[in-house]
Structure 1
Amino acid sequence: MKYRHALPQLRGQKMMTDGGLETVLVFKEGIDLPLFAAFKALETEAGIEAVTRYFDQMANIAVETGRGFIMDTPTWRASTKWGGELGLSAAELKEIHREAIASFIKLREQYETPQSPFVINGLVGPHGDGYAPESELSIEEAQVYYSEQVQWFSELGADMVSGMTITSISEGIGIVKAAQAVNIPSVVSFTVETDGRLPSGEGLAQAVNAVDRATSGAAAYYMINCAHPDHFLDVISDGSDWLKRVGGLRANASRLSHAELDRAEELDDGNPQELGQLYRRVAELLPNLNVVGGCCGTDHRHIREICAALDSV
């Protein structure tokens, strides 16, 4: 595995991710995604073409801007819990993981350059609803829950794993412990509400510090995703040490709350140029911000503006 023990973003390489894959597929491409499961798009030719076009656009931006590209597998909803609700067996879900990694190996072979290293990132999502979690796993339950997908990623050739839109400290700890068990680098990306706190009520500083304490700092770094910068700028403005552990951001295009986004029937894609400028502000506050991308409502326009704004610093 090319970057298993030497992830380029940990050596100071500027990296980007993609944007809001699910919202692009639903609102831009008109593809139905039950349970917001992006991998369901790969069941039709139209869906495969849309996903391929989407990642080709992102890969081109990475190469054009001289950034590395962290390729997030479309497996946010591919756990046995969520996949089971879609009628899929564990064997079928593992095959989805295998196919996702194989497609990214091909993408890397097609686009990667020495200036733009491509990293395969195995994505896992929260046990509950990322917008309105109805329950919270214990640390032990979370480690068991995430271990299956993390093991698949380790076995099938991912370079790293990330928990995206994580809503509680216990699930963050469980993800890192599951990754430790199979020796694969891990990232925890917390989401926050409009008050800058996790849906579980915990603060970002509390969350990062607690996961580090429980795992002896084993996470490669932390991220924030599925929130607009306005929702957490105050939280990251105090210069505290925990901010050095935040290495990535995938913000929403919209300022709407999670509850409002959940009810929305039309896409709020915000203002790409304004979002780029807000990333500049965030970058001034996070000294180790090497990974940038987008979340709900963002597409290639937002990613271009984010890269352009950061390159102009």
Structure 2
Amino acid sequence: MSFYRTALPQLHDRLFLTDGGMETYLIFQQGVMLPDFASFHLLHTPEGEETVRAYFRAYADIARRHGTGLVLDTPTWRAHGDWGTRHGLDAADLAGINRRAVSLLEELRAEFAPVPVVISGCLGPRGDGYVPDAMMTVRHAEAYHQPQIDALASTAADMLTAMTLNYVEEAIGMAHAARRAGMPLAISFTVETNGKLPTGQSLGSAIRVVDGATSGYPAYYLVNCAHPTHFAHLLDPQEHWVRRIRGIRANASCRSHAELNDAPDLDAGDPAALAASYAELRRHLPQLTVLGGCCGTDHRHVEAIAAAVAA
């Protein structure tokens, strides 16, 4: 049963943590094979599911210690059309994977009580998260993402979060599909080192365009898969589009997307410095209630973020 679909608690003042960069942590630090960063492979075996449980338990412990809530995203960033086909999965297989991902997080929500846990169905881009390839029209994006969104809407998921989007037409199409399914949706854009989307569009313009095309349907926006030094200077609290941002899931590294793609190792950055940048952001933007990590981050970074923001 969905707990929060009609009233997302992170839209108020309480802090909600997320996890860090699941895929980079499991691949580089735990030696788990995740082809194409497709963490849904973990749902194919009992051992893989136990890996997911152990991974999220570390974040539940942090939330307990700091008195925060949790937004847990399903490992379904790649569990849709084109990526499923690459791994020999048809539409029925993908629907089953999305449903199982939510039921696993339902089990963890019961285990983590009384920590409030929002279950978010994670959506990813049709193409590469760093490169705006496979670009679609709004209509095509809506049709492409509708099957995954419908599968998640049939579960106890409280909301959807579209992560690492890099052009507005896909974001708008996802918002239309989410509205059709009756699901709250958060949109998370990624930016380059200059603070702009990989298309060259400014973050502010992208948020304004999506809001304008969808009558403000997204519940809120996030920035993910970029370091705060790439975008923090753009977040003027007087701007309406900035006030629509409620979440940050930053990379550990200051490297560009191209540099990260070419790097043979993991850049875990400096957890304390990253946490300090989050605390500074939240001082200026108190609406930031959803804080976690992306590539290169793990429980150490999120622990540091929780401590710095609480302080």
The TM tier, using the shorter chain, reads over 0.9
1:256 matched to 2:218? no
Q: Which residue of 1 aligns with 2:108?
A: 107
How far 1:134 moved relative to its partner?
1.8
Judge conservation of contact 1:98–1:156 (CA < 8 Å) in 2.
yes
Whether contact under 8 Å (1:31, 1:41) holds in the other structure is no
Alignment TM-score, normalising by the size of structure 1: 0.96
Which secondary structure state, in structure 2, belongs to the residue aligned with residue 128 of structure 1? coil
CA distance in 2, matches of 1:146, 1:268: 32
- Output the CA distance in 2 between the equivalents of 1:237 and 1:281: 13
Give the distance between the partners of 1:14 and 1:186, measured in 2 at CA.
18
Q: Corresponding residue for 2:7?
A: 6
Deviation at 1:184? 1.0
Secondary structure in 2 matching 1:173: helix
Which residue of structure 1 aligns with residue 177 of structure 2?
A: 178
Match of residue 68 from structure 1: 69
Count the aligned residue pairs. Answer: 310
Deviation at 1:44, TM superposition (A): 4.5
Offset at 1:142?
A: 1.0
- Cα shift at 1:69: 0.6
Q: Secondary structure at the match of 2:143?
A: helix
Indicate yes or no: 2:31 matched with 1:25: no
Partners of 1:205 and 1:242 within 8 A in 2: yes
Q: Which runs of 5+ in 1 are unaligned?
A: none
Which deviates more, 201-210 or 46-55? 46-55
Once the two structures are TM-superposed, the CA of residue 45 in structure 1 deviates from its matched residue by: 5.0
User: Match for 1:50: what amino acid?
Assistant: T
**Structure 2 unaligned runs (5+)?**
none
Instruction: Give the counterpart letter for 1:104 in structure 2.
Output: L
Secondary structure of the corresponding residue to residue 233 of structure 2: coil
Spell out, residue by residue over 1:146-201, the C-alpha distance to the aligned partner (whole angstroms, 9 max, x if none): 11111111112211001000011111111111111111100000000011001111
Partners of 1:253 and 1:296 within 8 A in 2:
yes
Q: Deviations over 1:240-274 (max 9, x none)?
A: 12111000000000011111111111110001111
Distance in 2 (CA, whole Å) between partners of 1:150 and 1:35 is 21
1: CA distance, partners of 2:208 / 2:12: 22
Aligned ranges for residues 156-305 of structure 1 at < 5 Å? Answer: 156-237=155-236, 239-305=238-304
Separation of aligned partners in 2, 1:52 and 1:60: 12
Q: Is the 8 A contact 2:76 2:98 kept in 1?
A: yes
Residue 133 of structure 1 and its aligned partner are, at CA, apart by: 2.5
1:36-68 Cα deviation digits (max 9, x unpaired)? 101113334553333221111011111221111
Percent identity reads: 46
- Encode CA deviations 1:84-104: one digit per residue, 9 max, x unaligned: 111111111111111111111
- Aligned partners of 1:230 and 1:112: how far apart in 2? 35
Instruction: Name the structure 2 match of 1:40.
Output: 41
Which residue in the other structure is 1:89 paired with?
A: 90
Question: What's the TM-score once normalised by structure 2's chain length?
Answer: 0.97
Asked if 2 retains the 8 angstrom alpha-carbon contact of 1:137 and 1:171, the reply is yes
State the superposition RMSD in angstroms: 1.2
Report the CA distance between 1:141 and its aligned residue. 1.0
